Each structure stands twice: as structure tokens, then as C-alpha cells.
Amino acid sequence: MRRGLSSHLPCGHEILRLGTLCLLLGGLTWTPASGQGICDNFEFEQMPVDEMAKRDFRSMASRSIRNNDLPSGEAANFDRYYNEYFLPRLTSCEEITDATNIRKELKRDLKGLGQGAVHDRLTQLCLNKCQEIVRGNYHPAARVNAMLIINDLNRTEVNTSSNPPQAAAPLPEALPVMLEVLQTEDVPLAVKITALNGLVRHAESPDLAEADRTRIMQAVVPILMAEAPAKEREQEAHDWYRLRAADVLGALGIAGPNNEALLALAQVADESDLNILLGCHVAQAVGSLNYESVTFANPSDLVADLGQFVLDAYEHEKERAEKGMELMSRPGLKYYFYCGSVGLKGEQADQPGGCLALAKNPPHDTFAAEVSRQVDQLLEIFEDEDNRGQRLEHELFKATTALEKLIQRKPKADTETAQVLPEEASEG
């Protein structure tokens, strides 16, 4: 039986991003004890915040942003405003709770600039100062906010008025910072997960070089494979970490030069004590990879694992409902079954993906198609609004029983040597 979650409701990526940070930052926000000032006993370093830089240069900086033009001789003062006043506020005990507004102001200004010399100068200032905060002994919330700023930095901003509309192009220089965060031991987990959020955006960019795709994959695979958390880490927080690693692999869309990403996803899908939501994201990542030139010795094993995931999700939800003496959650079950379906056949209705694309030869192709159809039948149960209460449970029982019998007829793996990941792979 796979492990459950703190909530059975489905989560979109944006909700997931916020939920992750709420989970991990719940104990990281700064609230002084009763009777104390807001900065009493604050245990972290703080950058000096130069109020004179604000007084002397704020108007000039705002005017430069508004006009997209930096007056001659004002470059040093522009830099001083952001380096000595605006960005150091992220580390201040008095302003940590206002960090969202600091980030929003920066994002608004950079988007308004779009591109050009002022945009590039401000982007570089943000990258340099936020790297310093991420690496330093500052409050974890400050380091997360600095990482969020780095994640959002672009070479050029979105331009909806151009023809055709221009999407934002992520800043290539931010990528090494994200990878460094993942590979540095003493960085708080919340900062690492925030870096993974940024990597998803870079991985989705059509401008990402193939060498960088491989670098990202090699950094993320060990995170996904690390089943046991570090000693100081809670299991649920660790599951979120692995979940975002799966999202990165799905966004990259490559199996890997030696099928590293595919093998890692298949290995996690086979875990007997897998967190259900992690399983969902692993399945969706499987459905997002390109299998055009991939040869895989045991596609039916992965097909069976994804089918078993659907069964485990059903049993998990059934057990949760019985314990609470309530009905099973239609949205929760539908989301879990959808994840399994994506892993089995991909997301494009007109082009087979996932295991249907991976299982190229008999009998694996037939097995994949049969399991995929059976999972689709489970999803179709929810299309009938009359399927509720006991009727829903009856229909689900029949369909899951049929899926279980089908999985038991799994074909054997091909005779060629099975592919395995190196044992020395370890979490960063």
C-alpha cells in the first residue's frame, strides 16, 4: 500500500508551488516572542539597508525604469540604489514579511522594460545580489525570496503586443546558480525546491541547449532516486522535493543519453511505499518524455507499475473514506486516474505517447494498449454524473478488478540485458 498525503485533493502546478513553500516555510517565518521587538533575538545575518541611497537615488532609478533610459553618469547611483537599499531589504528582519511586494515591484519593472540596456543592467544586479543572499547565512525565507527572484529573471521579457507574441526567454546565466543550489549540502530544503521550480521553467524553454538539458537531468536524477530523506528532513517535505525533480524531468522531455531519466522514473514508479502525489507526478513525467529513439528492455514492467499505481490510488482513497466514514472523493480519484492515463498514453490525443510510444514491439505494445484502455474506462466512470455514492463504488470496484486481472498477465521482459542506473547515484 502506498503512502498517502496530508490532503487528497488534486493540485495544479501553481497551487503545488505555493503549497510546497507554505509547507516548508511554515516554521521559517519570523515571529518575535510576546513582548519582544520584531528584531530582538533575530539569529541571522542582515545586509545593511542604506536609507540614504533610497533618499538620494530612488527618484532617478524610478525615472530610469519608466523611461527605459539611464541618464549619462548615473549608472553608479542606479547600482547603489539596488545594491545598497532595494535588494538588501530582503534580508532585513523588519522587511521579510514584505518580501512579496519587493519581488512584485521588481517583476513589474523588468517586464515593463522588456529588454535593452537598463533591463540587462537591472537583471545582472538582481542576479549578483540574490546569489549572495542565497549563499549566505541569511534567514531561510530571505534565501527563498532571493531564489524566487533568480528563477524569474529573463533575457527578454514577454511581449504580447508583438506579432507573433513573444514569450519570455529565461536568463541562461541563472541556470548555473540553480544547479549549484541543488548540489550544495547546507542549503535549506525550501531553497532547493525553489530552485527546482526555476529549473522547470528553464527546462520548458525551447531555447535551452541540449548540453544544458543533459546537465539539468544529471543533477535532478539523484534527487528523484533518493527514497529515504536526510536525517533532519521530514518524509513529506522530502517527497515534495522528489516530486519537483520528477516535474523537471518531465519538462525536459528527454529519456537521457543512456535512458537515465526514464530508468529513474521507472525505478521510482516501482517503489512499494510511494507517496501517491509523487506517483502522480512521476506518471505524468513518463508521459512527457520523447521515446522516438529509445529502446527499453522491459516496457511492460513500467506499464504494470503505472496500472498498479492507479489501483493503489483507488485503495488509498477508499481507505481514507472508510476511516472518515465519508464518500470517496470524485475529484481526487479522477486526478489520480488521469495521472496514470498520461503515463500510459501521453497527453496528446492525436499522437501516442508515454508507454504506448515506449512499447514498440509485441507483446508489450498490446499489453500497454490494453492497460491504457482499462484506465480510460475508469476515467469514463466519472463522466456519468449518476455515478455517485454506492453506485460509484460498485462501478469502480468492477473496473479496478478488471485492471488488476489484466496486470497479472504482464508479459516478460525482453531477453536483452536489463538497463540499470549506477549504484553510486546519490542525492545532491
pLDDT digits (tens, 9 = 90+) for 24-34: 544 455 555 55
For residue 204, what pLDDT band results from cuts at 50, 70 and 90?
very high
Q: Are the beta carbons of 158 and 111 closer than 8 angstroms?
A: yes
- Give the pTM: 0.90
Region 166-188 average pLDDT? 96
Residue (of 56, 34, 141) closest to 92 by Cα position = 141
pLDDT digits (tens, 9 = 90+) for 383-393: 998 888 889 99
Region 259-282 average pLDDT? 96
| Number of other CB atoms surrounding residue 76 within 10 Å | 9
pLDDT of residue 91: 97
pLDDT of residue 228: 86
- What single-letter DSSP state applies at residue 154? E
For residue 360, what pLDDT band results from cuts at 50, 70 and 90?
very high
Quote the distance between the C-alpha of residue 329 and its chain's center: 25
pLDDT of residue 164: 87
CA distance 345 to 356: 5
- What single-letter DSSP state applies at residue 83? I
pLDDT of residue 25: 46
Angle 210-225/175-182 helices, nearest 10 degrees?
20
For residue 328, what pLDDT band results from cuts at 50, 70 and 90?
confident
Q: Are the beta carbons of 330 and 392 closer than 8 angstroms?
A: yes
- What single-letter DSSP state applies at residue 286? H
Region 104-126 average pLDDT? 96
Q: Strand pairing partners for 159?
A: 166
Least confident of 68-77, 132-141, 202-211, 318-327: 318-327
pLDDT digits (tens, 9 = 90+) for 122-164: 999 999 999 999 999 999 999 999 999 999 999 999 988 888 8
CA distance 397 to 150: 48
What is the DSSP code string of 103-156?
A: HHHHHHHHHHH-SSHHHHHHHHHHHHHHHHHHHSS--HHHHHHHHHHHHH-EEE
pLDDT of residue 6: 44
Check pLDDT > 70 for residue 71.
yes
3-class SS of residue 143: helix
Check pLDDT > 90 for residue 180.
yes
Region 35-42 average pLDDT? 71
Q: Please give the mean pLDDT across all residues of the chain.
A: 89
pLDDT digits (tens, 9 = 90+) for 42-55: 889 999 999 999 99
For residue 14, what pLDDT band results from cuts at 50, 70 and 90?
very low
Residue (of 307, 297, 268) closest to 285 by Cα position = 268
- Residue 153 C-alpha cell reads as 529573471
Check pLDDT > 60 for residue 9.
no
Region 283-308 average pLDDT? 95
For residue 13, what pLDDT band results from cuts at 50, 70 and 90?
very low
